Amino acid sequence: MPQSERMQQLAPVLAWIDSHRDAALTHLQQFCRQPSVAAQNWGMEEMAKMVEASLSELGAATQIIATEGYPVVVGQLAGDSARRLAIYNHYDVQPPEPLDAWSFPPFDATIHDGYLYARGVADNKGNLVARLWAARAWREVYGSLPCHVTFLFEGEEEIGSPHLGSFAAANRDLINADACLWETGYRDAEGALGIYAGVKGILYIELRTRGTAYDLHSSNAPLAPNAVWRLIAALNALRDAEGNILIPHFYDDVKAPSERERELLARFPVNVEAYQKSWESAILPGPSGSQTTPTERLLYAPTCNICGIWGGYSGSGSKTVIPAIAGVKIDFRLVPDQDPQKILGHLRRYLTERGFDDVEVIELEGTEYPGQSPIDTPLLEALVRSARTIYGIEPHVQVRTAGTGPMEALSQRYGIPAIGGAGVGHSESRTHAPNENIRVDDYILNIKHVAALLAEFAAM
287 assigned to some structural domain: no
189 assigned to some structural domain: yes
Residue 138 scores a pLDDT above 90? yes
- Helices marked H in 153-305: 164-170, 172-175, 227-236, 259-267, 272-279, 294-300
Residues 418, 216 contacting (CB under 8 angstroms): no
340 and 402 share one domain: no
- Beta strand pairing status for 360-363 and 61-65? unpaired
285 assigned to some structural domain: no
317 and 440 share one domain: no
Residue 81 scores a pLDDT above 70? yes
Residue 160 per-residue DSSP state: T
174 and 304 share one domain: no
335 and 191 share one domain: no
Confidence of residue 460 (pLDDT cuts 50, 70, 90): confident
Confidence of residue 339 (pLDDT cuts 50, 70, 90): very high
Q: Sign of the C-alpha dihedral, residues 334, 340, 345, 351? A: positive
Residues 378, 136 contacting (CB under 8 angstroms): no
276 assigned to some structural domain: no
235 and 299 share one domain: yes
Choice among 88-97, 205-214, 347-356, 360-369 with the minimum mean pLDDT: 360-369
What does pLDDT average to over the chain?
96
* Half-sphere exposure of residue 186: CA atoms within 13 angstroms, side-chain side: 21
142 assigned to some structural domain: yes
> Which pLDDT value is given to residue 1?
65
CATH at 67: 3.40.630.10
- Quote the crossing angle between the two packed helices 440-459 and 378-391, to the nearest 10°: 140
How far is residue 429 CA from its own chain's centroid? 13
CATH at 259: 3.30.70.360
164 and 142 share one domain: yes
> Which pLDDT value is given to residue 4?
74
134 and 218 share one domain: no
246 and 301 share one domain: yes
153 and 31 share one domain: yes
392 assigned to some structural domain: yes
Domain edge (last residue) among 342, 363, 384: 363
> Which pLDDT value is given to residue 3?
72
Q: Where are the strands (E) in 69-126, listed by range?
A: 72-77, 84-90, 110-112, 115-117
| Continuous segment of H or E residues that includes residue 322 | strand 321-322
Largest interatomic CA distance in the chain: 82
392 and 446 share one domain: yes
Closest CA to 367 of 337, 397, 401, 332: 332
311 and 405 share one domain: no
Residues 147, 85 contacting (CB under 8 angstroms): yes
207 assigned to some structural domain: no
pTM value is 0.91
Residue 12 scores a pLDDT above 80? yes
Cβ neighbours of residue 416 closer than 8 Å, sequence gap 6 or more: 86, 175, 176, 177, 178, 179, 180, 410
Choice among 68-82, 234-248, 279-293, 406-420 with the minimum mean pLDDT: 279-293
Exposed, middle or buried by CB within 10 Å (0-12, 13-18, 19+), for 285?
Answer: exposed
Domain that holds residue 337: 213-263+295-363
> Which pLDDT value is given to residue 365?
84
pLDDT in tens, 249-301: 999 999 999 999 999 999 999 899 989 998 999 999 888 878 899 999 999 99
108 assigned to some structural domain: yes
Residues 164, 43 contacting (CB under 8 angstroms): no
Confidence of residue 6 (pLDDT cuts 50, 70, 90): confident
Look at residue 269 and give its three-state secondary structure. coil
Question: In 10 A of CB 388, how many CB atoms?
Answer: 14
Domain edge (last residue) among 307, 330, 363: 363
pLDDT in tens, 386-445: 999 999 999 999 999 999 999 999 999 999 999 999 999 999 999 999 999 999 999 999
Q: What is the mean pLDDT of residues 134-155?
A: 98
pLDDT cut 70: percent of the chain above it: 100
Question: In 10 A of CB 266, how many CB atoms?
Answer: 11
Separation between Cα atoms, residue 385 and residue 453, nearest integer Å: 8
192 and 338 share one domain: no
Domain edge (last residue) among 363, 385, 409: 363
Number of domains in the chain: 2
